[in-house]
């Protein structure tokens, strides 16, 4: 790695682009991947020079420690293309901060800014043609890191691989969500790794989520591990509620502190709303829906963007929220975010990082 704050990146261009095979009017989330990927290895206590190479399979030892002991973390962020062709990445510094917090918790090396952000910008410049211009679409960016030591035995790996892959995507959810309050299974416990974006958090959610989907729900509303009394997150997104003129989001070291969630809270305060990050009990939420004080509920995340919640199932009863199309705050903030990320309005917060 360079000591001057920049990273020399070796580039190997693909000889056969798959771009012509993509229907940008029919983008399935996570199914289409761009031509190139960024790859960097960590060994002997330092990061080696990264490369951008054609997207392709990896060759790994069966003893690769990430497979056995779960040292695997990732992030998700998006790039957007303005009407004039300008390419922008939304708040990548926040993803870098969260990525390194995840790395620290799982005893993995931190990734320097020039590799994470600089590498992403170089990768996007090469695969610029893969970034959709149709509003509602974007280029999803997936940085991830996993342990590569080929040895058995429970200990932190002595080597790691950092990779960034990308792909054009449409909407993750295309309709309002029905959530079931989970009162048996647990996503994360105090003192654990719930705040980190690690692979294991998602693996343990798959079975309970499938059970809920068999009941007709889209996702779970996870609750605390001790009493199942407090709302946490939806697994694929954070949760926010409007009570009067206050925007409330659950806060705990067991939930992922999302960049979209943080952005919405900052916008709400800028607009003069009161915004609170605190514990939210299931009882408070249900009573608020019943007495009409909870007027909006929505999920927020990089993939989900901002998706309204229409119904919540709890202890065998369905609680219906007001019509999503008539919700003032969430519709206003979604429009603002879209206008900001597609370059229709001035970036007063300095959140858009321009590529090239």
Give 242-252 pLDDT, tens digit per residue: 999 999 999 99
Question: The domain 10-169 is classified under which CATH number: 3.40.50.1370, 3.40.190.10, 3.30.470.10, 3.30.70.520?
Answer: 3.30.470.10
pLDDT of residue 173: 84
Q: Where in the chain do CATH 3.30.470.10 domains reside? A: 10-169
The CATH superfamily assigned to 177-341 is: D-amino Acid Aminotransferase, subunit A, domain 2 (3.20.10.10)
Helices (H), 141-238: 199-203, 206-214
Q: Which residues contact 6 (CB under 8 A, 6 or more apart)?
A: 114, 118
Name the pairing type of β-strands 51-54 and 294-301.
unpaired
Q: What are phi and psi of 21, to 5 degrees?
A: -85, -5
What pTM was estimated for this model as a whole?
0.95
* 280: nearest Cα among 303, 312, 305: 312
* 90: nearest Cα among 37, 131, 43: 131
Task: Give the distance between the most distant pair of CA atoms in the chain.
Answer: 62
pLDDT < 70 regions, the chain? 1-7
Q: Which residues contact 236 (CB under 8 A, 6 or more apart)?
A: 172, 219, 299, 301, 303, 304
User: Using CA atoms, how far apart are residues 326 and 41, in angstroms rounded to an integer?
Assistant: 50
User: Using CA atoms, how far apart are residues 333 and 268, in angstroms rounded to an integer?
Assistant: 8
Q: Where in the chain do CATH 3.20.10.10 domains reside? A: 177-341
């Amino acid at each position: 790695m360079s000591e001057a704050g920049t990273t020399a990146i070796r580039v190997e261009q693909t000889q056969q682009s798959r771009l012509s095979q993509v229907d940008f009017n029919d983008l399935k989330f996570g199914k289409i991947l761009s031509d190139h990927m960024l790859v960097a290895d960590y060994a002997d206590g330092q990061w080696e020079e990264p490369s951008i190479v054609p997207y392709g399979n990896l060759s790994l030892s069966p003893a690769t420690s990430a497979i056995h002991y779960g040292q695997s973390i990732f992030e998700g962020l998006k790039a957007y293309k303005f009407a004039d062709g300008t390419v922008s990445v939304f708040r990548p510094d926040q993803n870098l901060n969260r990525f390194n917090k995840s790395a620290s918790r799982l005893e993995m090396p931190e990734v320097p800014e020039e590799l994470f952000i600089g590498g992403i910008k170089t990768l996007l410049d090469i695969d610029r043609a893969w970034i959709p211009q149709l509003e509602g679409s974007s280029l999803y960016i997936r940085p991830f890191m996993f342990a590569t030591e080929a040895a058995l035995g429970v200990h932190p790996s002595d080597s790691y691989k950092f990779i960034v892959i990308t792909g054009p995507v449409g909407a993750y959810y295309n309709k309002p969500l029905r959530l079931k309050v989970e009162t048996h299974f647990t996503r994360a416990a105090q003192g654990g790794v719930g705040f980190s974006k690690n692979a294991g958090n998602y693996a343990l959610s798959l079975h309970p989520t499938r059970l809920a989907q068999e009941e007709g729900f889209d996702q779970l509303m996870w609750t605390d591990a001790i009493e199942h009394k407090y709302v946490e997150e939806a697994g694929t997104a954070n949760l926010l509620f409007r009570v009067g003129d206050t925007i409330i989001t659950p806060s705990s070291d067991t939930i992922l502190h999302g960049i979209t969630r943080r952005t919405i809270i900052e916008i709400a305060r800028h607009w003069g709303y009161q915004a609170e990050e605190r514990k939210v009990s299931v009882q408070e939420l249900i009573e608020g829906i019943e007495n009409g004080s909870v007027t909006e509920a929505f999920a927020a995340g990089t993939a989900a963007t901002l998706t309204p919640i229409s119904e919540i199932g709890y202890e065998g009863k369905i609680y219906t929220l007001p019509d999503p199309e008539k919700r003032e705050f969430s519709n206003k903030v979604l429009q603002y975010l879209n206008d900001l990320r597609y370059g229709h309005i001035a970036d007063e917060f300095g959140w858009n990082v321009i590529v090239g």
